[in-house]
Chains A and B, each alone.
Chain A
């Protein structure tokens, strides 16, 4: 029936076989229709996760605020849940202190590293150093906590002898080390995407590399750099293990970095490891603190996204 095959006297006819197989394809067609639904269902898991997070934080927080007034929670300055004092200020203060120290460490170091890698280092150096620097971001935080407690704190104590074992300084410092690669990597990407034509224009006028960096590259990459810093800050706010291990468990509204403090995250760990009964006020307070933490990081992430979206439009 089909030409060619017959003339060759062939024993197989592919089109005929396809024709015959078509009868079986009704199953295939059904699969073809079911699969997108299955995939959509899987894609829904990420949405459900978000819904689940919002649901649990809101519901348990509302439960908490029915026992402790929301005004007291956000205006009180004493956090001592085991004696019924729920003013979150010391936890927020502790979180901010850690974040501030970490930012002071990571932003200058990360930015300078980004400038070095993007503008000064040759390709070979960059290809070695960038991945090695990124190893810093892959080390488990519990390891950093160990490092802060057993190495950085004793090191700092040799300079500040009356500093305690648990203190904000070494915790914040090590968080800063951990987020260096975030600042460096993302900022370097932003600097790299500055068109070379801009640099060449400045070199043509006799500018030194340094002048090109400060007058051309940094301004052009500014939004990308800021986005990277905001993301790094968000990471520092949510960091848990380093501060739990090294910064202590003393809710303490202070800006003295040598004192022991407690962050929001560290409180959640502390309360979860202690004998917190399901349904108790302390149990609910976990979620109220978690909710506050979530809002902090969400706002940071949204800012970063907003900035980097604007940044993408520039070129």
Chain B
């Protein structure tokens, strides 16, 4: 079933991608877009938060979203897995396609989307349960109950989040007892456990100390081998360090979207230039 979708996606290759191959070792496949956003508008009640955003998120790359606070970057991120709709007054128009399927379609299940498009939040938010139960949460709610299978998934996910060695003897301790950095990596492991396609990260290091931040950044680099990552950050250096592509948002509009190096070295828009040179924000 997945194959069919992938093939469909291939037909669509690069139709709308504004960028040609960037600085990547760039095979054609790498520039396939996994999420296509078209003319997205979003309102909180009568306040419009996003204006006509169109953007194709590339597969197996790190896409950073930067912009001053309140520019709509977190809102945009949360729209991609429809978490934004937890606020009941939200309305949207336009379309978002994940692997060519309209995620706003009434036939498309939010719950299904979120197993494909996982999320890591700004503040580490483990459940008040053991490390094991945290990581096994996703597989369990989707009906995986066998202990041997769960054991494997937990180990693999914690390894994937580069925290297995630290925690393998503490799997049954409450996750609240871990340090902030460890908590955040457990949260990443939790997101990995259902093996999503895309991982959304909403300023995942803003609550962490520099050492933990470095570890998470390193991890992001590793994860992009397997996952498409979209990361919101208010830290431009971070975006420059870890991302392949960068999108700059201002006042709910996507101002510029380009290869990270290009965007930082040679911004096309005056406002982008002002922002990255620190003139505002």
Residue ranges of A at the interface with B (Cβ–Cβ < 8 Å):
1-5, 10, 12-15, 17-19, 21-22, 24-25
Residues of A within 8 A of B115 (CB): 15, 18
Give 13 A-B pairs besides A1-B3, A18-B139, A21-B144 with Cβ atoms closer than 8 angstroms.
A1-B2, A2-B195, A4-B227, A5-B195, A12-B152, A14-B139, A14-B144, A14-B195, A17-B142, A17-B143, A18-B142, A18-B194, A19-B1
Which chain B residues (75-118) contact chain A, with CB distance < 8 Å? Answer: 112, 115-116
Please measure, in the bound complex, the distance between the C-alpha atom of A2 and the C-alpha atom of B3, giving whole angstroms: 9
Is B153 on the interface with A (CB-CB < 8 A)?
yes
**Contact (Cβ within 8 A) A21 B195:** no
Q: Which residue of B lies closest to A18 (CB)?
A: B142
Determine how close the nearest CB of chain B comes to the CB of A28; give it in whole angstroms: 8
A sample of 6 cross-chain residue pairs with beta-carbon separation below 8 angstroms, ordered by A number, consists of A12-B149, A12-B153, A14-B139, A14-B153, A15-B2, A25-B143
Determine how close the nearest CB of chain A comes to the CB of B231; give it in whole angstroms: 19
Residues of A within 8 A of B195 (CB): 2, 4-5, 13-15
Please measure, in the bound complex, the distance between the C-alpha atom of A1 and the C-alpha atom of B112, giving whole angstroms: 18
Residues of A within 8 A of B197 (CB): 2
Please measure, in the bound complex, the distance between the C-alpha atom of A19 and the C-alpha atom of B139, giving whole angstroms: 11
Size bracket of the B interface: 20 to 34
Residues of B within 8 A of A12 (CB): 149, 152-153
Determine how close the nearest CB of chain B comes to the CB of A87; give it in whole angstroms: 56
Knowing A1-B3, A21-B144, the reply to whether A14 touches B194 (Cβ < 8 A) is: yes
Contact with A along B216-245 (1 / 0, CB 8 A): 000000000111000000000000000000
Is B215 on the interface with A (CB-CB < 8 A)?
no
Interface centre among A5, A18, A21 (most CB of B within 10 A): A18
**Contact (Cβ within 8 A) A21 B3:** no
Contact with A along B116-147 (1 / 0, CB 8 A): 10000000000000000000000100111000
Residues of B within 8 A of A24 (CB): 143
* A21 interface neighbour in B116, B143, B153, B193, Cβ under 8 Å: B143
**Contact (Cβ within 8 A) A18 B2:** no
Please measure, in the bound complex, the distance between the C-alpha atom of A151 and the C-alpha atom of B266, giving whole angstroms: 91
Residues of A within 8 A of B271 (CB): none
Q: Which residue of B lies closest to A5 (CB)?
A: B195
Interface centre among B139, B143, B149, B225 (most CB of A within 10 A): B143
Knowing A10-B156, A12-B149, A15-B195, the reply to whether A3 touches B143 (Cβ < 8 A) is: no
Residues of B within 8 A of A21 (CB): 142-144
Which chain B residues (38-55) contact chain A, with CB distance < 8 Å? Answer: none
Residues of B within 8 A of A25 (CB): 143
Q: Which residue of A lies closest to B195 (CB)?
A: A14
Residues of B within 8 A of A2 (CB): 2, 195, 197
Please measure, in the bound complex, the distance between the C-alpha atom of A18 and the C-alpha atom of B193, giving whole angstroms: 11
